[in-house]
Each structure stands twice: as structure tokens, then as C-alpha cells.
Chain A
Amino acid sequence: MEHALLTVNRLKTYFYTEDGVVPAVDDVSFAIKKGEVVAIVGESGSGKSVTSLSVMRLIENPGKIAGGEILFEGRNLVDISLKKMRELRGNQLAMIFQEPLTSLNPVFTIGNQLAESIRLHQKKNKKEAIKIGIEMLEKVGIARANQVYDQYPHALSGGMQQRVMIAMALSCNPKLLIADEPTTALDVTIQAQILRLMKDLIEEFGTSILLITHDLGVVAEMADQVIVMYGGQVVEQADVFTLFKEPKHPYTKGLIDSTPKIHEWKEELNSIPGTVPGPFEFPEGCKFADRCPFVMDKCKAESPPVIEIGKGHVVRCWLHGEKGLKLNESKSFT
């Protein structure tokens, strides 16, 4: 079997707040191979960002990695020194966020920040760094790269800022790029451009991507593997084709059903009943029990184990416990 670039093993990241412990990431495992796009999808508060910040070791107080391991090329990131981690960030590991402005410094020009990053990580001299910087801007599809190089971040549109962020992240030629909702703040025509850009870059550089999104359309468009999270747990994981064709977890099925389809006309849209509970409001047993149309007594009493029901297809749900009931039979969402 091909060796994974990143292996996350039973990761637990908890927040120790005044109101109690929030298990934001609770026993999460997955792997990313070279050149692969792994998407994490789930609703607000499901633990997507905390998972990615854990990989970058960017969890701040009162949060803590409380268990598990994060193996990057065989090294466990959970217990290497912060100094070593800082070296990896920006070199081997890079991250882009939903709001590009939060990570660009408003008082320096684009070029300044880009060249700085290139000099730091690629040990180039000033002149070389400028040249590479402008090339990177061209690579991410910025017209008039020469001029944009000397502009300040606020003078650019959201789409251009996100392109600059991608250029910065790629300027150090990382092996893994973590993109946390990179297109959520963008308009749909600009989103389509950025997604295409990311695809082209995967082809050109062979970068692996951990893509975080709440949009199943983006997942279907981009991902090789998909991880579905709910309440800090992985509830289902499969390759993208299997996941959309044969979702096994009621939550996955509910999410797919409630995503609007452009060529579907119906009187009533599918939805999942209820709302995502607050961090201290999840039910005992299965965390999805209070919204699940298939709920059984067992679900309310006991947390379901993770089982593998097909090659690389993993689900956390009692329906697939001993009996292995089929989801498409019997009830469905309304």
C-alpha cells in the first residue's frame, strides 16, 4: 500500500472552558496520501477547523491536544518541539483561511510579504525572491502581476486576496496545503476560478490538500476522499464516489439530500429536523440520535463504534452494527 503523507490517529483536541470540557475533536482518524485531496465536511461547530489547526499545532488555550498522534512523514507532530514545528509550517505544511485579510498584513505590500516568505523558506536573495514572487502571482492567475506586486492587500478584491494567499502558501512548495473554507467568502463565479486554480496546482506540484468546507458541491468537485464530521466525531469516511452513491450514515444522507440540486424540481426541499446542538447539549449515546429518523433505543444509550463496512469505507452508526440494515430501505428524510 502506498505510504501516507499524513496520518491522524485517534486525535482528541479538547477545550477546557469554565463551563466544562468541549470535546471539539473526539477520536478522529484519517490519512492523506501524496497528491490526494481529502475533504472534511460538516456543519458549523462540527470540529473541522479545530482538526486542521491541530495538525498545524495552532491550538491555543484553553484548547489542548488531549490524545492521539499526527504523523507527518513518520514524525509525530504532537510531540515535536515548537521550534521544529515552526520550521515545518511554511515549508512542508501551509495553511490558507476563509478570510484572506486576516492573514495578510495590511501595512506591507503584497510583494513585500511574498518576497519575505520566499527568502525565509527558499533561502533566495532579494532579487531572486522578487522574480519568483511575480512568477507566483502570475501562476495563480493574477493579471498585471507586476503592478499587483506593489499594491496593499486592501486594494484587492476578495478573490484576488485569496489568490495571493494561495501564492504565498505555495511559494514554499509545501507537501501539504490545508485550506479552511478557502472559497466560502467568495462569489460563486470567483469560487469556480479558485477551485480550478487549486486543481491545476495539484497537477503541477503534486501537493496534497486537506480541504475544509461545508459545501457538498465543492466536495464533489474537488475531493478524492471525504470525511464527514458531526459533533467532533468522524461519522463517515469514504472515497468521494462511494460516499455520494452509497452514504451509510443518516447524517451524510441528510446532508446530501438537503443540498439543493440545480436540475431538480420539487415542492418541498429535504432537510434534517432540529438543529445542531450546542457544545454541551449533545445527547448521550450517538450524538446524532436526537435528529436521526432511524433512531433506535440502543442509539440513545450507547455510543456507536466505528466500523469498516467496505474497503476504506468507515461509518459510526448502530444501523450498521450487528444487523447491517440498509439505509435506502425503510424510512427516509422528509
Chain B
Amino acid sequence: MSQNPLLEVRGLKKSFDVTKGFLKKEKHYLYAVNDVSFTLKKGEVLGIVGESGCGKSTLGNLIVHLHEPTAGEILFEGISLLDLPAEQLRRRRADIQIIFQDPFSSLNPRKRVFDIIAEPLRTHLALSKAELKQDVLHLMELVGLNRSYLYRYPHEFSGGQRQRVGIARAIALRPKLIICDEPVSALDVSIQSQILNLLKKLQKELQLTYLFIAHGLPAVKHVSDRIAVMYLGKIVELTTKEKLFMNPMHPYTEGLLSAIPIPDPTERKEQRKLLEGDIPDPVNPPAGCKFHPRCPYKTEICSRIEPEFTEKEVGHFVACHHPLGKENKE
């Protein structure tokens, strides 16, 4: 790859001290993000999927610096964010924005739409009153909010409209990178696709780069170029969305795909293969491959040695001792 990545994450780790609640004196740590590495090109959308608690939000929060990493590096335009002086960091922060899952709690209920969207503009730019209003109205138009809503409060809006307000605020400063942390999971089905279409349209028009977090594959499929699948703090597979859907190589990805209920009764798969068991306790993760207790393909080595995250095919990264190829897939 010739082009320098916009974002590069190297060996990123975040552990939380969860000793409280344990009786013993010895310390207990939960590795929410455990040695994660990837790059993101300018204008690219990387989807991050995985089940509850696998570390998606922690990863997003680390990149916007809501958490201090335990180890590893975050390079933004080639510069490490972790050792920037305060003033430069402040400016950098304007380049990286975040959109949260819950449009109900992420907006200040006492502020009007105008003030919510104007806030980042006021903080970072010196605009006249008229310019500010013009900018806000333009942003509202971009996200499909009627200008008559300018002086309304968040509680007067539906979930989808609130999420549009959140998006308008996030794009106000024309950031280079936006972390979307489950931006549609709290919304109704018919509204989810509206917001996904909007995010994709904005990404194209404003040449934005997204790290797009979601629980399930259906939600990331539409917007993403590449997708990373996480399990217990680790990326287990990372490749283009086409490859991931057509040719998943990690057994967990295969399990995720086959668990999605298909909205067509003629395709009921009575005998489809389901993953057994539950997600293990993250404080005491299994040895070896963290997925081995649920894996239908495990062998002796899987419970002993942790598989490395390597490029098995061009642009297709997998952490598995027995990646699925065309031969061993049923």
C-alpha cells in the first residue's frame, strides 16, 4: 500500500482493574481490548462487529481518547496521539468525532437543537452569530432535519431524528475520522435503513472515514468496505466485506453468519449449524484460542496455543489454527 493510513492502531491493549468484588487479595484484570492492530485508509469504512462485551466500545473510546490505553500505539496521520502536547491534541480531537448508540442519552435535554449542533463550532471556531446560524442550518439540511426544528428540544424528537442531530454535531467540524458506535441499534427497523443510507451518503460526499461499530453483520454490511470481527477483546478476522460474507475463514465468523435469522420463511434452515455454549467470562478467558470452547473445529493445539493473527490470503487476516478453506467447509 502506497498511501499512508489515516489511522494506525498497533498492539493496542486496555485492561480494567476489576479486583473489587473478588474476595482474594490478588489483583484481577479484565482485558477489554487485547492486542488489537489494524490500519484505516482515508475515505475507508471499517466495520467492527462482535457480540456484547467483546470490546468494541472500548476500542472506539481509546481512539477518541476517552480511555488511556494500557499498551500499544494509536497513530493518526502518522503521529502518535498519546504523546502530543495538550494544545495540538485539542486540535487533533476536532478531527476525530464519535456518534453514540443511544440518541436519548447522548444529547443534553436542556439544550435546543441549535445549541447542540453549534457547540463544537463555538468551541473550535470563531464565527459570527450569522455565520454560526448559517452553518447550523446547512448541517441540518445535510442530515435531513427540517429547519423549523432549530429551536426545539431533544425530547420533542423521535429516535431517528435525535440520531440525525447527533450526526449533524459530529460532522460540524468536518472531522477526518468518525467513530460510529452502534448508531442504529436503538432505532426501529424502518428508521435504521434511513440512518444507514444517510451515513453512507455523508461519507461519500464529505469523504469521511468511519470506524463503524455494530453488534451484528447485517448492520455493518451496507456501509463498510472492510470488516473486523472481534471476540473477547481480539480481532479474529479482518478482510473485505465481500470476502467475509462469501468466504469466512474464522469459525466464529461462520457461526455469526449462520445465526442470523433469514427474513424468508422458505429458507428456514431447520438443520443449520449453531454455535454452542456461551461467551466465556472475560476475567478468566480460556487458554489458547479464546474461541476454542465453542469451536466445532478445535483440535488439541487450540486449547494450548493462542493462534497468531496473520494474513492467510492477500488482504485476509485470521487468527485461527484451522482457518476454513473451501475444503473443510460444509
Binding site for B on A (CB under 8 A): 43-44, 143, 157-160, 187-193, 195-196, 214-221, 223, 240-241, 244, 254-256, 258-263, 268-273, 275-276, 278
**B147 within 8 Å of A (CB atoms):** no
**A256 near B261: Cβ-Cβ < 8 Å:** no
Contact A220 to B275, CB < 8 A, known contacts A187-B51, A255-B189, A275-B160: no
Q: Which residues of B contact A215 (CB under 8 A)?
A: 189, 261
Residues of chain A within 8 A of B192, CB atoms compared: 258, 271
B190 touches A272 (CB 8 A): yes
Question: 1/0 contact trace for B81-108 toward A, CB 8 Å?
Answer: 0000000000000000000000000000
B196 near A269 with CB under 8 A, answer yes
User: Which 8 A/B pairs are nearest by Cβ-Cβ distance?
Assistant: A217-B261, A271-B193, A272-B190, A260-B218, A187-B51, A269-B193, A192-B259, A43-B188
For A160, list chain B residues within 8 Å (CB).
Answer: 278
Shortest beta-carbon distance from A25 to chain B in Å: 19
Considering the chains assembled together, what is the distance between the CA atoms of A221 and B194 in angstroms? 25
Say which one of B7-15, B263-271, B299-307 lies at the interface with A: B263-271
B201, closest chain A residue (CB): A268
Contact (A261, B188) CB under 8 Å given A189-B275, A193-B274: no
Q: Would B265 and A240 count as touching, CB distance under 8 A? A: yes
Closest chain B CB from A258 CB (angstroms):
4
State how many angstroms separate the Cβ of B140 from the closest Cβ of chain A: 16
Minimum distance in angstroms from B213 CB to a CB of chain A: 15
- A to B CB contacts below 8 Å, 15 in the list: A143-B277, A157-B279, A158-B52, A187-B279, A188-B256, A190-B51, A191-B259, A193-B275, A214-B188, A214-B189, A255-B190, A259-B189, A262-B245, A276-B158, A278-B158
**Residues in chain B near residue A189, CB distance under 8 A:** 51, 255-256, 259, 274-275
Contact A271 B263 (CB under 8 A): no
Known: A187-B215, A268-B197, A271-B194. 10 other contacts (CB 8 A): A189-B256, A190-B278, A193-B274, A216-B263, A255-B190, A258-B193, A260-B219, A269-B193, A273-B194, A275-B159
Closest to A258 in B: B193
| A277 CB, nearest partner CB in chain B, Å | 9
Query: Do residues B260 and A262 form an inter-chain contact, with CB atoms below 8 A?
Result: yes
Asked if A188 and B265 sit within 8 Å, CB to CB, the answer is no
| B18 interfacial by beta-carbon distance below 8 Å | no
Q: A188: which B residues are within 8 A, CB to CB?
A: 51, 215-216, 256, 259-260
A311→B189 CA distance, assembly (Å): 29
Within the complex, what minimum Cβ distance (angstroms) separates B144 from chain A?
10
Q: Give chain B nearest CB distance to A48 CB in angstroms.
A: 12
B residues 155-172 in Cβ contact with A at 8 Å:
158-161
Residue among B193, B260, B263, B267 having the largest count of chain A Cβ atoms under 10 Å: B263
Q: Which residue of A lies closest to B260 (CB)?
A: A262
- B191 within 8 Å of A (CB atoms): yes
Chain B residue at smallest Cβ distance from A254:
B190
**Residues of chain A lying within 8 A (CB to CB) of residue B196:** 269
Report whether A256 and B263 are in contact in the complex, using a CB–CB cutoff of 8 Å: yes
Known A-B contacts A187-B279, A189-B259, A269-B197; the reply to A260 vs B221 at CB < 8 A is yes
Q: Indicate if the CB atoms of B160 and A217 lie closer than 8 Å.
A: no
Residue of B nearest to A157 (CB): B278
A241 to B189, CA, bound (A): 21
Closest to B190 in A: A272
Q: How far is the CB of A175 from chain B (nearest CB, A)?
A: 25
Which of A187, A216, A261 has the largest count of B CB atoms less than 10 A from its CB? Answer: A187
In the complex, the chain A residue whose C-beta lies closest to that of B49 is A188
Q: Which residues from A are CB-within-8-Å of B274?
A: 189, 192-193, 196
Cα distance A187–B160 when bound, in Å? 23
Query: In the complex, are the beta carbons of B215 and A271 less than 8 A apart?
Result: no
A44 in contact with B193 (CB, 8 Å): no
Is B257 among interface residues, defined by CB-CB distance under 8 A?
yes
Q: Is the CB of B320 closer than 8 A to any CB of chain A?
A: no
Of the candidates B51, B193, B261, the one having the most CB atoms from chain A within 10 angstroms of its own CB is B261
Would B218 and A216 count as touching, CB distance under 8 A?
Answer: no
Shortest Cβ gap from A246 to chain B (Å): 12
User: Whole-angstrom distance between the alpha carbons of A275 and B259 in the complex?
Assistant: 29
In contact, B222 and A269 (Cβ under 8 angstroms): yes
A221:B262 contact, CB within 8 angstroms: yes
Docked Cα-Cα span, A195 to B275, in Å, equals: 13
Is B63 interfacial (CB-CB < 8 Å)? Answer: no
Q: B217: CB under 8 A from chain A?
A: yes
Q: Is there an interface contact between B264 and A258, defined as CB atoms closer than 8 Å?
A: no
Q: Closest B-chain residue to A160, C-beta based?
A: B278
Interface residues of B in 270-312 (CB under 8 A from A): 274-279
Q: Which residues of B contact A258 (CB under 8 A)?
A: 189-190, 192-193
Please give me the residue from chain B that is nearest to A41 by CB atom. Answer: B189
Interfacial residues of chain B within 196-233, with CB under 8 A of chain A in the complex: 196-197, 200, 215-219, 221-222
Q: How far is the CA of A270 from the CA of B263 in the complex (A)?
A: 15
Q: Which residues of B contact A214 (CB under 8 A)?
A: 188-189
- Cα distance A273–B219 in the bound complex, in angstroms: 19
Residues of the B chain whose Cβ atoms lie less than 8 Å from the Cβ of A195:
261
Contact among A190, A220, A256 for B262, CB-based, below 8 A: A220
Cα–Cα, bound, A215→B259 (Å)? 14
Q: In the complex, what's the smallest C-beta–C-beta distance from B311 to chain A, in angstroms?
A: 25
